[in-house]
Amino acid sequence: MTISPNTIFTDVQAIRDTSPLVHNITNYVVMNNTANALLALGASPVMAHAEPEVADMAGIAGALVINIGTLSDPWIAAMFTAAKAAKDKGIPVVLDPVGAGATAYRTDTAKKLMQQFHPAIIRGNGSEIMALENKGAVTKGVDSASAADLALDIARHLNQAYGSVVCITGEIDYIVQDDDVIQIKNGHAMMPKVTGLGCTASALCGAFAAVNPDPGRAAAHAMAVMGVAGEMAGRNAKGPGSFQMHFLDALYQISDTDIGKLFKG
């Protein structure tokens, strides 16, 4: 699989043209940012988390994004209900296992969602992806591999086991699908200093998955747009406050020329 400025921008244009509804069950910290990022790019975000309505909402959406960043029991129940509704209707599900590995509550919830619903895309940083593996496998790997290689090994294994495209984000983003790994080398050093840009990356995966039936390409295009918009934002940012503002402006402005000049696959 290869992606190019042309394939990336074709999806951006499709999002702008069709404004797909992206249903997010996400964390309190980032709701505003992710809604704004989806709007800036051209999608239609909706946030809804009550069990009585999530199946209705997921059922009319182009994609469902589940983010476990601020879990609680009622939200977990709603995540399962919504994921079931989405799967039943063939709507792509994106899982962001925020903080998996930090507490058993998060790790267990993320694993159960993954095992039960085989998300189209799982996006996390290296340690979150590693936390989704069973302990045995991780322990075995640690002896012989660097952390990055280990995360990639685990991503490959999760992809084989559940069919999910696994997207590991960091200085280089890796998108793992079948026997293929795409690398995206865009981004900016200030991005980890802004809360919720990882969550925004997952939300954008939802927008791209709503317009592109291939979840590997959708995830890769989303990461490319994140990285290119990040570089555009970084030009004028004086710190993480102005970076966040310029980043939303960049998602709104991003053109085929910007992607053509800046994309580093």
In angstroms, what is the minimal distance from the CB of 195 to a second copy? 4
In angstroms, what is the minimal distance from the CB of 64 to a second copy? 14
Cβ distance 11 to 212 under 8 Å?
yes
**Residue 80 touches a second copy, criterion: CB under 8 A:** no
- Which residues ranging from 156 to 215 are in contact with a second copy (CB under 8 A)? 192-196
Cβ distance 158 to 137 under 8 Å?
no
Return the structure tokens found at 206. Answer: 């939802």
Q: Which of 45, 97, 124, 206 contacts a second copy by CB under 8 A?
A: 45
In angstroms, what is the minimal distance from the CB of 177 to a second copy? 31
Closer by beta carbon to a second copy, 240 or else 265 = 240
**Residue 17 touches a second copy, criterion: CB under 8 A:** no
Q: Which of 36, 159, 164, 177 contacts a second copy by CB under 8 A?
A: 36
In angstroms, what is the minimal distance from the CB of 14 to a second copy? 18
Q: Which residues contact 204 (CB under 8 A, 6 or more apart)?
A: 37, 38, 41, 222, 225, 226
> x/- contact string, 103-142, with a second copy (CB under 8 A)?
xxxx------------------------------------
Q: Which of 17, 56, 171, 178 contacts a second copy by CB under 8 A?
A: 56
Stretch binding a second copy (CB under 8 A), from 39-47, 152-160, 168-176, 257-265:
39-47
3-state secondary structure of 130: helix
Taking the CB of residue 127, how many other CB atoms lie within 10 A of it? 15
Return the structure tokens found at 78. Answer: 């709603």
157 phi and psi angles, rounded to 5 deg: -65, -45
In order of 3, 4, 185, 228, the CA distances from 263 in angstroms are 10, 8, 8, 6
Stretch binding a second copy (CB under 8 A), from 97-105, 146-154, 164-172, 206-214:
97-105
**Residue 46 touches a second copy, criterion: CB under 8 A:** yes
Cα–Cα distance measured from residue 232 to residue 171, given in angstroms and rounded to the nearest whole number: 16
* Closest of 220, 223, 230 to residue 251, by C-alpha: 230
Give, in degrees to the nearest 5, the angle at Cα 151 between 147 and 152.
Answer: 120
* Closest of 156, 148, 169, 163 to residue 224, by C-alpha: 169
**Residue 70 touches a second copy, criterion: CB under 8 A:** yes
The binding site for a second copy (CB under 8 A) comprises 27-33, 35-36, 39-40, 45-50, 52-53, 56-57, 60, 69-74, 99, 102-106, 192-196, 237-242, 244-253
